Amino acid sequence: MNRSRRPSRRRPARRRALAAAVLVLAAAALASGCGDPGDLRGAGATPTAVGPTRLWPDLPPASSPVGDYGEADTEEVKGVKVPGGDLHKVNPVDIVKAEVTANPDVYSGPDALYKDTVTALKDCGSEPKDCPVLKAYYRDFTGDGKDDLVIGIRMPEEQLAVRVYAMEKGHLTQIMGTSDAVLGVELAGRDLVVRAVSGIPGYEYRTAWSWDRHQRAMLPTRDEILRSSDAPRPKGARSQVPALTEAEQGAGPGPGETSGPGERPTPTAGPTADDRPGEGS
């Protein structure tokens, strides 16, 4: 006996129940924060921009600097050949000896600032470890596609002279020079950063030298004073306020230096990358 079965309607009912459950779960997830559609939301009121306030607007601007630190001074090095214009092929000691020859009053005589350095140059051949000329480094500071030369020279009283040389119109030229009580020297892109001891315990001077295509020299585009873990501190003291003393008149700048040994211009905030000299037109 055949029995015909009616189509069951229970399955569509189950499907509708399942769909309803899915909708309930989705609504619960949205309410709890899951599945955030990523719409923009307010972050509160925007603070009003405040521009710089000019003090003493009626004060006439100065027309000349107080002192000339020779920031843009350059000097051609004579008597040193550069094969093919490649500074990698030049002995740094020969360049320093040429500097000594060009400035005899500074490097020789009873009142010479660096006569001990000249004496130590004699050890560069037989006793390299006693040679005051340090390992040379190379970097393209001028942007002409050729490496320039960085030389460090140990000076008396724990000072270090830093020199940068480039080929300018086929001539070996010193494009930067300074001397200071140095904590460290760093290459940062096309900048040379010199970290030096400041007069405040626990702080250091940090000067960034950058190529300026208008002056055809490297200029101190940023000079600042910062807290430093490397700077010397007095024993048993966390900080110290230095006593105010009358400035002493020291020796003048050495050859190719922008300031005398230990003498520094007042640190000022330098330009940003967009305002850096030589980067614009």
67 against 64, higher pLDDT:
64
Domain locations in the chain?
A: 75-234+253-270
Instruction: Decide if pLDDT at 243 tops 80.
Output: no
> Which of 130-134, 219-223, 257-261 comes out lowest in average pLDDT?
257-261
Q: In what order do the strands lie in the sheet with 217-227?
A: 182-188, 191-197, 203-212, 217-227
Phi and psi (nearest 5°) for 27?
A: -65, -40
pLDDT at 15: 56
Tens of pLDDT, residues 42-52: 777 888 888 88
Cα separation, 120 vs 131, whole angstroms: 6
**DSSP labels for 204-231?**
EEEEEEEEETTTTEEEEEEEEEEE-SSS
User: Is the Cα dihedral 178, 182, 185, 191 positive or negative?
Assistant: negative
- Secondary structure (3-state) at 238: coil
| 244, 48 contact by CB (below 8 A) | no
Burial track 169-184 (b if 16+ CB lie within 10 A, e otherwise): eeebbbbbbbbbbbbe
Residue 167 in tokens: 């080929």
278 against 39, higher pLDDT:
39
Would the pTM of this model clear 0.85, i.e. be above it?
no
Cα separation, 256 vs 142, whole angstroms: 18
Instruction: Decide if pLDDT at 228 tops 70.
Output: yes
**Chain-centre distance of CA 192, in angstroms?**
6
pLDDT at 44: 79
Residue 275 in tokens: 């305002």
> What amino acid occupies position 119?
T
pLDDT at 106: 82
| 108, 196 contact by CB (below 8 A) | no
Cα separation, 147 vs 167, whole angstroms: 9
Cα separation, 144 vs 187, whole angstroms: 17
Cα separation, 149 vs 140, whole angstroms: 8
